[in-house]
Homo-oligomer: A and B are copies of this chain.
Amino acid sequence: MTASPEQSGAGPLAVWLIGARGAVATTTIVGAAALRLGHARPIGLVTESVPLSAAPLAPLDSLVFGGHDVTDTPLIKSAHALCRDAGPLSPQLVRDLEDELAATEPCLRPAPPLFGSRPALQFIRSVQEDLAAFRRSTGARRVIMVNLATTEPPAPPELARCDLMQLEAGVAGPGLPASLLYAYAALDVGVPYVNFTPSIGASLPALEALARERGVPHAGQDGKTGETLLKSALAPMFRMRNLQVKSWSGFNVLGNTDGLALSDPAIAASKLESKSKVVPAILGYEPHMIVRIDYVPTLGDWKTAWDLVQFDGFLGTPMTLQLTWQGSDSALAAPLILDLIRLVDLAADRGERGGLGHLAFFFKSPVNSDVHNLAEQYTLLCRHVLAA
């Protein structure tokens, strides 16, 4: 499988989800079916609004889904578990789509085992076999992998200093994060890769080198859906108006499995690092930053973020802004997944390779970009997609 031009021909666009039975993946699959069958309008899809809707993107109804998961909860059950009041889905919608979900079920496969004596190389081969089988069975013109799996603890910092040869030597041994192996497996066989999580995925120099060598694009890292989205929209206001932010304290509570994973401080470290750097990057200085994520199981997929911004105005006058954001975590993420699939597919069609900096708009820690200001990110996105 390579990113050769003939891929852009007929056939569906196949999407391989890592964490395919989780809340975001389930909402993505349900949502794509709902759009295809006319049960919903494309609210929340950036690629369905002006001006990006004018780009030559894959039709939404050309998407087919498969993927890996470490659990075996049936997709229909995952969908019902996301119904109100625990999640965004309407029970009626899920009932109406049960046939669709049943049809996707056979495309979901158990994640290959990673831990223990089994070498990483064997894991990579398993993944690649599943990708190839999925491509064959769907007749897809292209497969794109999307990482939606539970956040991993931060990767060892020395990985950032490996070159591709060193990494490939290391692949023979144990201890590499699954997200990295998945990204390697995909890029190695020309499958574009999207990392919607804070896990390391393809965001290290060795993988960037692999992507460029194989001529395949990738996107990431850590989808920007809630509190950080707000920060990237609001922090520029303080900078433009020369108001001095003294502290920005953000508290997030949520109850889905993402919340559960993030209640482990080791795992939260990945996310918090990603969330903490946006405001200083935009402001150009370091206010006192607090970012917390707490698990409140009774909230289900509903996430509430409260932010307190303390700032000084003219003559040092102390002022504050508070924000309370209440939304469904999965409903915020899913349309962006659909956007990213289409935009990465277009990039692959155009022969773009490596980390796609113009997709910074979607991410807390964008690869190949240091732009965090939402409006600037949007301008770059539209210009790049429409100009090319």
Contacts and interface: CB of A to CB of B under 8 A. Distances in A.
A380 to B, nearest CB: 12
Contacts of A378: 240
Interface in A324-348: 324-328, 331-332, 334-335
A258 B49 CA distance: 36
Interface residues of A, number: 78
Interface stretch (A85-93, A135-143, A145-153, A202-210): A85-93
A243 B251 CA distance: 23
Contacts of A325: 319-321
A319 B44 CA distance: 12
A251 B314 contact: no
A320 B304 CA distance: 10
Nearest to A239: B49
Contact of A49 (B242, B328, B373): B242
B328 A31 contact: no
A313 B43 contact: yes
A276 interface: no
A310 interface: yes
Interface string A296-330: 11110000101010101111111111111111100
Contacts of A85: 316, 318
A105 interface: no
A45 B240 CA distance: 9
7 contacts: A43-B243, A46-B242, A240-B375, A251-B292, A251-B306, A299-B310, A314-B334
Given A44-B241, A229-B241, A319-B332, 19 more contacts: A43-B315, A44-B243, A44-B313, A84-B84, A88-B314, A93-B315, A230-B237, A230-B321, A233-B236, A240-B374, A247-B296, A292-B292, A299-B310, A315-B331, A317-B327, A320-B324, A321-B325, A322-B323, A323-B323
Interface of A: 27, 30-31, 34, 40-46, 48-49, 84-85, 88-93, 229-230, 233-234, 236-237, 239-244, 246-247, 249, 251, 253, 287-288, 290, 292, 294, 296-299, 304, 306, 308, 310, 312-328, 331-332, 334-335, 361, 373-376, 378
